Amino acid sequence: MENRALLQSWQEVSTRVERELERLLALPSAAAGVQGLSVLNEAMRYTALGGGKRFRAFLAVAACQAAGGDAYEALPFACALEMIHAYSLIHDDLPAMDNDDWRRGRPSNHKVFGEAMAILAGDALLTDAFALLAGTALRRSGEECRRWLRALEELAVAAGSVGMVGGQACDIWASGAGEGSTPPAVDERTLREIHTRKTGALIRAAVRGGALIGGADEERLALLTRYAEALGLAYQISDDLLDAAARSEPASYPALLGLEGSRRRLLEVAEEARGAAGKLGQAGDLLQELVTFIVERRS
């Protein structure tokens, strides 16, 4: 499959997700005119609808299709992923975290709406994502409902204390949290733990959740899990390499392995991901193309 076909498919998913998020994040009529709620809603929409590649959403839809399901059956799950991702970006940018004033070429959420409203916007996006998934599951029955509940659990664990939040905590520790703290030495095992949780957990949940919704059997789910874990690491190493040109991060692959060592590691894990997707037959073609895109991307 040519890269052009991948990008076309990705764009179609992004358009569908954008349209659905626009609907989901519309201010309810019951909240119209209530002081504070309209500002909160504006802050939520500012980040959730503020651009982005919709990478995790695309993964969920592609995995659902690779599992043999109707790709867009996973659309609510894809939207929940993007809402959780948006929440994480809002909170990551806060002064107490990464302290970034800019996100995607625009002022960060807290620079526009203030720290308190930004925190609440992130909290609301996270909570509303699970309300969306719970409501979707309740509208199903039998085995289909069970698959949605399994997908919900996957996402909850990935976003929680041993997943994305835990990874952020590990990253703060590795950066030397506290006044006058000296960053500890970070080896590759520790670095992999940080990134597996901070970045990889949500990517893994996107693939496994989409696959579960698509009705994957245990063998196919295992292959897609191997794919997701390798892809998540490839994505992070690629990110680190792109960031290395702009700034030096102590908890990064270039800092630990150097640029050439990082590129070699990227190619190794990319091959792992391609190998797992290849065992899915033609259903894994799109997923293999995505690996190539991650390795070759420039932004």
**Which residues lie closer than 8 Å to 141 by C-beta, 6 or more apart?**
none
Predicted confidence band at 251 (pLDDT cuts at 50, 70, 90)?
confident
Q: How many CB atoms lie within 10 A of CB 212?
A: 26
Question: Which amino acid type is present at position 62?
Answer: A
Q: How many CB atoms lie within 10 A of CB 49?
A: 14
What distance in Å separates the CA atoms of residue 201 and residue 219, rounded to the nearest whole number? 20
Length of the chain: 299
Question: Which amino acid type is present at position 80?
Answer: A
The three-state secondary structure class of 45 is helix
pLDDT digits (tens, 9 = 90+) for 34-58: 889 999 999 999 999 998 999 999 9
Give the angle subtended at the CA of 67 by the CAs of 63 and 70, to the nearest 5°: 80
Taking a C-beta distance cutoff of 8 angstroms, is the pair 136, 73 a contact?
A: no
**What residues pair up with 173 in beta bridges, in sequence order?**
none
Q: How many CB atoms lie within 10 A of CB 105?
A: 7
Taking a C-beta distance cutoff of 8 angstroms, is the pair 60, 200 a contact?
A: no
**Global pTM exceeds 0.85:** yes
Predicted confidence band at 189 (pLDDT cuts at 50, 70, 90)?
confident
Domains of the chain from N-terminus onward = 3-296 (1.10.600.10)
User: Residue 146: phi, psi to the nearest 5?
Assistant: -60, -40
| Stronger pLDDT, 189 or 267, i.e. the higher one | 267
CA dihedral 114, 118, 120, 123 (to 10 degrees): -170
What distance in Å separates the CA atoms of residue 185 and residue 175, rounded to the nearest whole number? 10
What angle do helix axes 115-138 and 37-48 make, rounded to 10 degrees?
Answer: 80
pLDDT digits (tens, 9 = 90+) for 206-231: 999 999 999 999 999 999 999 999 99
Predicted confidence band at 1 (pLDDT cuts at 50, 70, 90)?
very low
Average pLDDT estimate for 134-149: 97
Nearest C-alpha neighbor of 1 from the set 298, 291, 297, 299 = 291
Tokens representing 135 are 């409501």
